[in-house]
Structure formats: structure tokens, C-alpha cells
Amino acid sequence: MFINRTRELSILNQYRESINTGSKINIAIFGLRRIGKTELLLQFKNNTIDRDVLIPYINLQKIIPDIEGFVKAYSKELVYETIKQTEQVDYPYELEDLLILASKLGDMETHHVRTILNILKQQEIAKEEILQLTFAFAQKLAEKHGQKIIFILDEFQELLQVHPRFLQIMRSMTEKQNDVNYWISGSVFSVFDEMLNHKNPFFGQFIRMTLENFDRASTHKLIDSELPFELAGNHKDKIYKFTNGQPYYTVAVCRKISEQYTLDSSISTPQVNYCIMNEIFSDTGSINEHFEYILDVSLAKFKNKDRYKSILFLLSQNPTNLTQVSKHIKKPTGEISNYLKALLKTDLIYRKQGTYHIRDPLFAFWVNNKYLGLSTNIVSEKVAEHLLANLEEKYQKASTELGIAKEYEVKYKLKELYDIDFEKYLKNNIEFHLVGTKDETVYIFEIKWRNKKTSYNDIDNLVQKTNKSEFSTQKRLLFFISKSGYTQSAIELASHNKIALLDGHLEEIKAIRK
């Protein structure tokens, strides 16, 4: 069941309509693993009924990550999706089948397939040439058939293994193609950040979108869709609280609860606690298996895996700086710095103001307890209750921080909205999330990204900090961004102090009157 992504789906459809009228729109969709990127993109593709738009799709984790694998998949998708609009055909898994389908479309398509086949047969493949031919084929196909193309490349970071100059080649071939748009997705934020920053070819070429965890209402709806019985509201809230609205975790817990209900014909609070913890730590638990997979894949290329695991265990207890990691591991800071840089590239951790954090609080909780030997089925509800209390404490610590992905996205969107370069501000023990200056006016943004409404005290804190800062005597504009909205008293105080209130989509809200 497709839940909670109606807004994102609506935005994608608006972009598709703009493409139909001549706009060129490339999109980069960020999201942690299992957050629903693939489901969103496939929902868009499968529900789009528009003969003027061709939507090829490749999940790049499911192809061989080299030149040959990419070129074959790219050409197959284009030819298959084109001919499928007029007749029902089988997918061309073999190149011989691709050639047959291409011949049905015409000489241009046949010539392209024959050309890439000949190049791939050579002992030394002309890698840059075949990539150029591949990207050029999409525009030729669009022009011939009078269509726009939205090419979806899911898990785009996998392509960075294909060729050291892949991004440069792709940019040089696609930037002037008026009819081909690329919608890419990725789950490794550090790679996307580097790929799309000002030093790299794709800077300024993509609209960025971040998929987040579900809110409370959507989590409740997801739970209802997964369970064959009505779960009590307080139990739904407990699941939401401890999965943090992450859809994959939520579904995994629901399946365990469904199994428990089959056995007992009822579900109590201790049983819900037990099901949550069992999913996280049981050897057969889906969440446990997911974390095992993430850890194995992330550390697969590293030689000294135990050293990396030791660092992760240390960070799972508390966010820590380089000096403290070095002290605990008993290795020089230079050596530890290299380990941390490698871990940053896996996206298991991120760095904020010199401190290293594990990105997913539930994963941190799992690492911490797994390292201590908790790796078998939990048979005691008291043990489950104790673990749940520990997890709650970890979430409370994590909930006060703005996620690094969201901070990056907000900063980028604000630059687009106001044409200002924003940076984090920390001076004389006064901190603002983002500050920028334009036309001798200081723009100050405070951000609260948590599952709780922004309160009177939050607004008052911004006012007090501003009055104590160097900006107290300067011309300034104050803004507050809140994921979960504002209390009435917060709205009234903000209005009194002329603070603009924005919602999680950076849209200004109007004062609510009683």
C-alpha cells in the first residue's frame, strides 16, 4: 500500500507537466535506505498515463556496475519502453532480443544497438566513446518519436564506479539535450553532497528533494494497512515513537505483532514492547537482518573491520570528537582520522561541528547492544522493557538535532528562495542554525525538526538570543522553521516580534486566531 507520499507524488506530476510544456527538469531525490525512494519513483512511473512522456527506469544496484552493464541496461530500457507504447513485447534480457526490438523501431535504433554491440566486442572497449553514444541515443530517440524522456536512475551513486569521468561525460552530453530529463535517487548523502556541490559538474543542475520518515498520522495509517485487526491507539503511538516513523521498521514490527496476535488472540503493552525489541535483536528479525546487511555492505571494502566496528560502538554510546575517539581506541589522531573519513563515505556516520554521530539512532542502539553480546531471541518482557527505555533515551538525545540531510536541503532551498549564501552561526556562545546577509539586512533562521510543536519558549529563545547577539542593533529579519507546526502561544509571540513562521515545506503560515 502506497502511503504518505501524496505530496511528493503530486510534485513529481507537476514537474512532468512542466516538462511536457518544454521545461527541462532534473531531480535528485535523497533518502536513507528503506525510506521509500524506489516505491515513490515506481509509483510515479506506473501511474503515469501520458503518451508524450517516456519513463525508462533502472535500479543501478541490480546491474553489473561497469561500462558494459550500464550501457546495456540503458539501451534496453529506452528501446523496450518505446516499443511497449504500441505493442506488447517481452523484455529484451539478451542483446539479440534487443536487436530484434530495435529493428522494429527503425534504422536509427538498429544502428545504435549494432554500434554498441561492436564496441563491446572489442578487446579494448572505447569507454568514453560508448558512454557518449549511449547518452546521445536518448535525445535522438526523443526527437524521432516526438516525446519527452524522464530517465529514472535509482541509487545513482552506484554509477560512480563505472568510469572516473562518468559525471563529466554525462554532463557534457546531457546539458544541451532539451528533451531528456534525469531523475536520480540516492541513499548515500555524503556522495550526493559531493557530487552536486559547486566543485563538481552537476552543481546547479538538479532540483533536490528529500524523503523523510512518516508523520504520526501516516504511521497510524500504515499500521492499519499492515495488521488484520485494530491495534489500540496507544500501541500505534508506541510503534511510531520507537520506529520514528521509518516505514520499513514500522512494517517489520507490525508483522511481528501480527504473529503474536495469531498466537494469543490479543496484544498487550508488554507484548508490543517485546515485538519491537525482538524485531531489532532477534537473529531472524527483519530489522536485525537489515542492520546486519548495512554493516556488512558498508565495511565490505575495509581491511581492519574490527577497528571500524570499535569506532562505531564508541559512537553508538555518545557522539564523540576525533580526540576522544583516538584516546579510547589508543591510536594516533592521524590514523583515526583516516578511519573516520572512510566511515563518513559509507554514510553510517556524519560529522557536525567537529563531532561524529551515527546517522540512524535505531542503528546506533542496535550497534551498542550487539557489541555487548545481545544477539539472540529476547524471551523476557522485562528485558524488552529495559531495552525500550534505553532506546527512548537515545531518541530523546537525537530528536533535538536537525538531521544533516535536512539541514543541507533547507540551506540549499533557502539559497534558491532568497539568493543568499547561508551558514551556521556560532559566536560568543550564541548559535543560529542559518544566517545570511543581503542588501545590508541580516536573515536569521532557527529550525526545529522534531515530532513536537514549536512552543512559546522556543520563539522566546530566538528573540533573547538575537537581542544578545551582534545583530541586536542591525537591520534584520527573523524566521522560524518547524516540522510539526506551532502552539497558539508561539504563533502570537512570533507575530508580536515580527518573526516569520514557516512550515516544513518552507511555506509561510498565517496567524491562527482562536
Same domain (yes/no): 150, 228: no
Give the chain's domain count: 4
Distances, alpha carbon 211 to alpha carbons 12, 34, 113, in Å: 13, 10, 37
Q: Is 58 helix (H, G, I), strand (E, B) or coil?
A: strand
CA–chain centroid gap for 41, Å, is 13
DSSP code string of 316-335: HHS-EEHHHHHHHHTS-HHH
| pLDDT confidence of residue 154 | 94
CATH number at residue 449: 3.40.1350.10
CA atoms of 410 and 424, how far apart (whole Å): 12
| pLDDT confidence of residue 42 | 95
CA atoms of 32 and 12, how far apart (whole Å): 19
| pLDDT confidence of residue 30 | 87
Contact 257, 267 (CB under 8 A): yes
Q: Domain range spanning residue 481?
A: 404-502
Domain end call among 160, 186, 210: 210
CA–chain centroid gap for 225, Å, is 24
Neighbours of 32 (CB within 10 A): 23
| pLDDT confidence of residue 104 | 94
DSSP-derived letter for residue 373 is: T
Same domain (yes/no): 330, 429: no
Q: Which residue, 374, 313, 373, 375, is CA-closest to 343?
A: 313
Residue 509 lies in a domain: no
Residue 513 lies in a domain: no
Distances, alpha carbon 19 to alpha carbons 9, 22, 27, 179, in Å: 15, 5, 12, 8
Average pLDDT of adjacent 10-residue blocks, the chain of 514 residues: 79 95 93 90 92 94 88 96 93 92 95 94 90 96 96 90 87 92 87 75 84 90 94 94 91 95 90 89 90 91 90 91 93 95 90 90 88 55 64 58 60 84 86 92 90 90 94 95 91 94 82 39
Same domain (yes/no): 410, 451: yes
CATH number at residue 301: 1.10.10.10
Same domain (yes/no): 267, 297: no
| pLDDT confidence of residue 387 | 67
CA atoms of 98 and 227, how far apart (whole Å): 43
Report the DSSP pairing between strands 180-186 and 27-30: parallel
Distances, alpha carbon 394 to alpha carbons 218, 364, 365, 470, in Å: 23, 9, 7, 35
Same domain (yes/no): 244, 293: no
CA atoms of 429 and 419, how far apart (whole Å): 28
Q: Is the pTM of this model over 0.85?
A: no
Q: Is 436 helix (H, G, I), strand (E, B) or coil?
A: strand
Same domain (yes/no): 312, 257: no
Same domain (yes/no): 225, 140: no
Q: Which residues pair with 447 in a beta bridge?
A: 481
Same domain (yes/no): 159, 306: no
Domain end call among 264, 282, 300: 282
Neighbours of 238 (CB within 10 A): 18
Same domain (yes/no): 365, 239: no
| pLDDT confidence of residue 13 | 95
| pLDDT confidence of residue 513 | 35
CA atoms of 295 and 459, how far apart (whole Å): 40
| pLDDT confidence of residue 511 | 47
| pLDDT confidence of residue 195 | 75
Same domain (yes/no): 365, 429: no
CATH number at residue 88: 3.40.50.300
Same domain (yes/no): 253, 329: no
Distances, alpha carbon 203 to alpha carbons 25, 125, 156, in Å: 14, 29, 15
Q: Which residues pair with 56 in a beta bridge?
A: none
Q: Is 184 helix (H, G, I), strand (E, B) or coil?
A: strand
Q: Which residue, 111, 105, 184, 174, is CA-closest to 144?
A: 105
DSSP-derived letter for residue 508 is: B
Domain end call among 183, 210, 237: 210
Q: Alpha-carbon torsion 372, 376, 379, 384, what sign?
A: positive
The edge-to-edge listing of strands for the beta sheet with 430-438 is: 423-427, 430-438, 441-448, 476-482, 499-502
Same domain (yes/no): 165, 65: yes
Q: Which residue, 144, 146, 184, 177, is CA-closest to 51?
A: 146
